[in-house]
Structure 1
């Protein structure tokens, strides 16, 4: 504290002050500037170093390099570094720390290699920096080479170096090597155990993570909040959010990381209401404030629940407690996605104007917002602006824009995909199949599908649905058979597409067989859309009695689509009894819809039940229901 008071007094000195300051004092002042990231004070200290004539001191220059690197001024650090006739390992470490801290992997590795070429022997402070860069970019090959250097330099038993090796191997997916490093460590600290547990969690080995926790306790280490947060994340990753909540209750003072982990977990399994409830409870306590990750997670839940009011409150909170630039840079994409989902596309535009335009995630969110709101032209225009600004798109961009493209623009993107480095990005090719099928080019869609090296469930579903969309029921069923032979198990959507294809192609018996196979062979519980397809299949074929019998045996209450399909078929086949049944059911389902009353009244009249028709009309008048007049819309020119 005395030194900090001295620092405050010194910072008010003019630059021309020439009073006595020792090298020790200057060194301490530079260290304070590094610790507190105060570049302005560091530069003032630099001025005093020049005034006192110690700017040629290699020790002081090294500390200056460290200060500038720690404060983010790498250009000044490099300038001073070049002035050193023989930079020592501490000067190299300062640059390596800057690159590692800022995620500059290639700069970090190339500087490390250059240091070795210069004959500087790495030490226990260098290796963790380089290994961290390898971890962030999952570069196992470079990490293995650094590990060899660790052994050559004889620092493999240093606990900090060992922890960095564990983390590097774990993040690169080499758990065998990670565990080997851990087992060979003579000395371990709590971070060693947490790193190993985190490695198992990140690679989805929950059982091994829990086993490691038991070994940790047997070794005399008690889990801290970091350990609990890691285990909570492990349970959330496999959908065991309630178990994660029980772990959270064991933490005396959960941090915002703990709550954000829980929120993200519940959001991931679709329980967005619980996620928002947790967020609300945290905010109401007022003990900790939400950081950017927490706000983004809460906004994501608002997006899925279309909770506009809650999203606006989070928006207001964010701009109140965070720096505007940082808030919109981090939470901007989630915020504009929330507004888009809630139908407030203009609000989304306003947020988009404030986000970082170099962030491809923000562009993807804006394009998706336009697409979901049916503004295909705006989505394409946004995509074009992105291209003009030379923002590098990713597979999410392409898969988002393709569904709203017409055939001409879709072909252009197809040509771009073939030239770009998307490789075997299955979602991109799936989107191309869908685009061609939607635009009526079913042969082009099948050509893209056939050339795909790898196909996933979505690939097969999209192509089966495309054939069904074009009335090619037999081709759809043939593809379903090929899918079974390929080893990919169909899901509910697969059978929906296949049943719809049968319905549109008049393949009644085949459709009924598929429905039976779905329930008996694949043990899938039919959903409303499957029942609707079967009713539509039977009614299109004129088998109305079978349709009615099927409806009465359904385990779920039939909805308006089922009764509407039955009514349309009854009218087409002049079956008044079934038509009355369907109309009466529609009136019960939607008593506020005047159109159902009018249709039922007409059915009563045609069936000779004039008294029922008059009574129904009077009921309509008594409740104030009036059928809207039909309208026609004619467009000319533009």
Structure 2
């Protein structure tokens, strides 16, 4: 009965023997093994308990059979308890006992418990087998402990326990999870030296490691090696290689197109990987073309794939295509999530469609979703891009009412709205409020506030904010200097503006066109024609092309300094450069 896995019949026969008081160690053992083979571990546990109640002494064989059942069912706690109880019953756990307990733990993702078995086993003088080591390495893989996995592998080799295909696969997976692509490739070579042939699974693990590390050239080379050898790549192989091609969307498209030549059919993961690669590269048109392709070959995209398409459209400000993809998602009865709606809000914001952003935000309850902080931040940013500071502030205040906490992005988006509308007083107030709610302002927060002061002709407040950066352990950026210099220039504080430029250059920070033009305007207002000419000629040092604004400021400065020759030369340069 046990051999035929007819566990019900075996249990029935055992019950008959028990009724006749004829059950013995052999009948109990046979019934337990029958249950173990059919993964009826609960029944096996009950038989083991009944055996103890009947006074029949168990032996190592019976206990190991029960242990094996627990392992296959992933009943790790029962396996560990049974292993611990064996010495109490005067049973000596053997290699099989420890291996089963370790395997039961790793199958149930309780890898820490599983790893305790190996040192206990060695301390007890029990020699581990390749099964024991494989289970331990697998436990390390489950826990993402590649260093421990490597130690187990070293112990395995020291004890002359030959590694198997399972050993290499588990060790490679542990390294892949830790984004250690070089050791994974080394293990592939070690497999060949050990005369263990690579298969599709091991090669896919190596490709996955390359994908997680962004090693697209190595992944493509490995895939080419698979195509030239007896190892047949599958959709997972191509998906992993395509995922490795982050920033190389054209290579990803070529790989996707080549699959048919190798009689491999793309699946939703393959298409999703290609679309994700295009999304990260900002290639929204290519992403949508791949989506159309997937429909043509009747591969239904999943939510993650469509979210990538919406995100690709959002990054390019293609709000209409983003909404169309979201509509398509809803029509296909796919479960649109917060990511889908947040990307759509962001797309509308990028496309200056703030009304649609707020409309989508209001639709969350209708689809049984709760807007998160990303939803509100995207909506605030949409209002900021349209210079709707009142609406942005209202949304910021609304975040707290829905039991969410505004973060750095929430405040910075609101400050951007205030900056665009020259609301310098509110910007300064909001900057101080950030610390009150335990949100630390960053340099972007200060940049927006300083720019708001610049637009509001508040150069002194701008300089106070600029000066307070150091006390907050922040360093001014090019944008910070440009905003402060411009604030001083617009308020006629040309000396202060030029001092800031000098400070910027002394800190070895490269100015941009905006900074130079602001400094030139300051020199113009101070009639500092020599300095203006020097600044204009210095632009080429930083590989910057003077604009019409640059020349105009310099011309006016020279005119005020009555430098007719210089004015004539500058006008000739403007004409030669065909600036308008």
Which deviates the most, 125-134 or 212-221?
212-221
Please name the residue that 2:239 is paired with: 229
Distance in 2 between residues matched to 1:532 and 1:264, nearest whole Å: 42
Distance in 2 between residues matched to 1:157 and 1:109, nearest whole Å: 20
Q: Which runs of 5+ in 1 are unaligned?
A: 1-5, 7-21, 32-44, 70-76, 100-107, 135-141, 421-427, 559-638
SS of structure 1 residue aligned to 2:300: coil
Shift of 1:296: 0.9
Shift of 1:506: 3.0
Summarize deviations over 1:472-521 as a string: whole Å, max 9, x none.
Answer: 531442244235x36xx66xxx3233323433563776566555544x44
Distance in 2 between residues matched to 1:117 and 1:367, nearest whole Å: 57
Summarize deviations over 1:164-183 as a string: whole Å, max 9, x none.
Answer: 43454455455554444443
Distance in 1 between residues matched to 2:407 and 2:107, nearest whole Å: 30
Distance in 2 between residues matched to 1:435 and 1:398, nearest whole Å: 10
- 1:117-196 counterparts in 2 under 5 A? 123-134=133-144, 142-154=145-157, 157-169=163-175, 172=178, 174-185=180-191, 186=194, 187=196, 188-196=198-206
Distance in 1 between residues matched to 2:35 and 2:116, nearest whole Å: 30
Distance 1:109 1:265, change over 3 A: same
1:413 to 413, 434, 437: 434
Q: TM-score, normalised by structure 2?
A: 0.64
Shift of 1:144: 1.1
Matched, 1:474 2:479: no
Shift of 1:431: 1.9
SS of structure 2 residue aligned to 1:157: coil
Shift of 1:224: 3.9
Shift of 1:295: 0.6
SS of structure 2 residue aligned to 1:229: helix
Please name the residue that 1:251 is paired with: 259
1:337 to 343, 346, 357: 346
Please name the residue that 1:299 is paired with: 310
- 1:71-470 counterparts in 2 under 5 A? 84=82, 86=84, 89-90=99-100, 93-99=103-109, 108=110, 110-112=112-114, 123-134=133-144, 142-154=145-157, 157-169=163-175, 172=178, 174-185=180-191, 186=194, 187=196, 188-213=198-223, 216=226, 220-235=230-245, 237=246, 239-252=247-260, 253-283=265-295, 285=296, 287-321=298-332, 324=335, 327-341=336-350, 342-343=353-354, 344-353=356-365, 361-362=374-375, 364-373=377-386, 374=388, 375-385=391-401, 388-389=403-404, 400=413, 403=416, 406-414=427-435, 429-438=442-451, 440=453, 441-447=461-467, 449-450=469-470, 459-470=477-488
Q: Which runs of 5+ in 2 are unaligned?
A: 1-5, 7-30, 51-61, 86-97, 123-127, 418-425, 454-460, 490-495, 560-566
Matched, 1:506 2:519: no
- 1:8-47 counterparts in 2 under 5 A? none
Shift of 1:417: 6.2
SS of structure 2 residue aligned to 1:337: helix
Summarize deviations over 1:101-152 as a string: whole Å, max 9, x none.
Answer: xxxxxxx554445556765975424423432442xxxxxxx43133212332
Distance in 1 between residues matched to 2:108 and 2:384, nearest whole Å: 41
Distance in 1 between residues matched to 2:339 and 2:99, nearest whole Å: 36
Q: Is the 8 A contact 1:512 1:534 kept in 2?
A: no
Distance in 1 between residues matched to 2:121 and 2:370, nearest whole Å: 43
Distance 1:463 1:448, change over 3 A: farther
Please name the residue that 1:587 is paired with: none
Shift of 1:289: 0.7
Shift of 1:410: 1.7
Looking at CA atoms only, which structure, 1 or 2, has the larger radius of gyration? 2
Distance in 2 between residues matched to 1:259 and 1:295, nearest whole Å: 10
Distance 1:469 1:231, change over 3 A: farther
Distance in 2 between residues matched to 1:50 and 1:439, nearest whole Å: 75
CA RMSD, 1 decimal? 4.7
Shift of 1:547: 8.9
Distance in 1 between residues matched to 2:72 and 2:377, nearest whole Å: 39
Shift of 1:266: 3.2
Q: Is the 8 A contact 2:101 2:114 kept in 1?
A: no
SS of structure 1 residue aligned to 2:287: helix
Q: TM-score, normalised by structure 1?
A: 0.59
Distance 1:338 1:429, change over 3 A: same
Shift of 1:298: 0.8
Shift of 1:251: 0.9
The one of the two structures with greater contact order (alpha-carbon pairs below 8 A, sep at least 6) is: 2
SS of structure 1 residue aligned to 2:337: helix
Shift of 1:290: 0.9
Distance in 2 between residues matched to 1:110 and 1:266, nearest whole Å: 40
Distance in 2 between residues matched to 1:462 and 1:156, nearest whole Å: 63
Distance in 2 between residues matched to 1:222 and 1:550, nearest whole Å: 66
Distance 1:202 1:512, change over 3 A: farther
Distance in 1 between residues matched to 2:443 and 2:432, nearest whole Å: 14
